[in-house]
Amino acid sequence: MMKNIFPKSLKKGDKIAVISPAGAVDASQLEKGIEMIKNKGFEPVLGEHLYTRFSNGYNYAGTEKERIKDINWALNDKDISAVWASRGGYGCQHLLRHLKLKDFKENPKWYIGYSDNTVVQSYLLKKGFASIHGQTIKTSSFGVTEGSYDLIFDILKGKKPKYSLPSNELNKAGNCEGELVGGNLALIYALLGTRYSFDFRDKILFIEDIGENFYALDRMIMSLELAGVFNKIKGLIIGGMTNMGDEKENKGYEESFDGFANKLISDRISKYKFPVIFGFPNGHIYDNRPLIIGGNVKMKVEDKVKVEF
């Protein structure tokens, strides 16, 4: 089996493209993030349609053609060293059939994002390229820690992440090692049965989500089960499950790592033997530490929990 390609490390002065492949974004929402790229010694290069707005049942960052143009430019321009999504939202699925990697293959670069960007990362992994599942340039209403961004820059500079975590009562003990796949659960679910879906065989799966009703969460987990995903994976890592269910009925509505959402998942996977980590700090949460999709990861679930690339 061929190892996935890790893009080369960035050096000071390298250019980072900032694009909007999905939802619309205002300039004011990206000011801090773009300034941060500069302060870290890199040059942000803004996509032509970064701030474009196109309303078609949803506020997209431009038409499909405009967003396709920007992402293909960013992925293939030889002067660009990394591609950072401004935000998620919805719209990345529109791009999949039109992505071009001819020059990207000659000059692979890190793609950084999460949420809706999961589908782009699945596409890249299908082609053998790792990517960073981490905070977008736009910070959401719940904010993001400076450390979450610092850890992304560490990866860009060639450092692989290592995490030690507190135990969670829902965890299932065990050790395993394998390639990390996954991201936002709704998008993993949306790709099932398509040629863009992740390959789950002997992989470690990561999932996170936000704003789903409990029945919708259960439907997605059930779909993974019916598709045989849980019979294929070596391990499961569960990140933030934020604003799940009805706010009035769910006492843990703003608790990313506790409450009914995680219990629902725990009950559904109880019959499987693979190790499980609940409460990994990645997702639509304040402490959003990056993971490498396509990276080889070791997970140890004991009294102490470790996740190392």
CA 70 to chain centre: 20
* Sign of the alpha-carbon dihedral angle for 165, 171, 174, 175: negative
Q: For residues 43 and 124, state if they share a domain.
A: yes
Active site residues: 115, 208, 284
Same domain, 150 and 212: no
204, 144: one domain: no
Q: Residues 128, 101: contact at Cβ < 8 Å?
A: no
Distance CA(298)–CA(230), nearest Å, equals 18
- 208 and 303 in one domain? yes
C-beta of residue 305 within 8 angstroms of C-beta of residue 166: yes
Q: Is 5 part of a structural domain of the chain?
A: no
SS3 content of the chain, % helix, strand, coil (to 5): 30, 25, 45
Domain of 71, CATH number, reads 3.40.50.10740
Tally Cβ neighbours within 10 Å of residue 164.
10
Pair (92, 64) in one structural domain:
yes
Q: Which of 156, 179, 205 is the last residue of a domain?
A: 156
What is the pLDDT at residue 140?
79
Same domain, 202 and 181: yes
Q: What is the pLDDT of residue 221?
A: 98
Clarify whether residues 109 and 234 are in a common domain. Answer: no
Pairing of strands 131-133, 162-165: unpaired
- Closest by CA position to 90, among listed 183, 22, 190: 22
Nearest alpha-carbon partner for 290 in 209, 201, 206, 221: 206
Of 122, 141, 156, the residue that ends a domain is 156
- What does the chain come to in residues? 309
What is the domain extent for residue 258? 162-308
CATH of the domain at 168: 3.50.30.60
* Together in a domain, 132 and 174: no
Structural contact between residues 242 and 256, judged by C-beta atoms closer than 8 angstroms: yes
The pTM (predicted TM-score) of the whole model is 0.96
| CB-CB neighbours of 258 under 10 Å | 16
Residues 139 and 171 reside in one and the same domain: no
What pLDDT shows up at residue 203? 98
- Structure letter (DSSP) for residue 296: E
Total domain count, the chain:
2
Say what the pLDDT of residue 289 is: 98
State residue 110 phi and psi, 5-degree precision: -70, 135
* Residue 2 placed within a domain: no
* Residues 176-222 pLDDT 10s: 999 999 999 999 999 999 999 999 999 999 999 999 999 999 999 99
Q: Are 113 and 37 contained in the same domain?
A: yes
Q: Is residue 10 part of a domain?
A: no
Tell me the average confidence (pLDDT) per consecutive run of 10 residues in the chain, 309 residues long.
87 98 97 97 98 98 98 98 98 98 97 98 98 94 91 98 96 98 98 98 97 95 98 98 80 68 96 97 96 98 96
> What integer pLDDT is reported at residue 142 of this predicted model?
81
Q: Are residues 96 and 205 in the same domain?
A: no
Give the end of a domain, one of 141, 156, 171. 156
* Run of H or E residues at 307: strand 305-308
Residue 135 domain-assigned (yes or no): yes
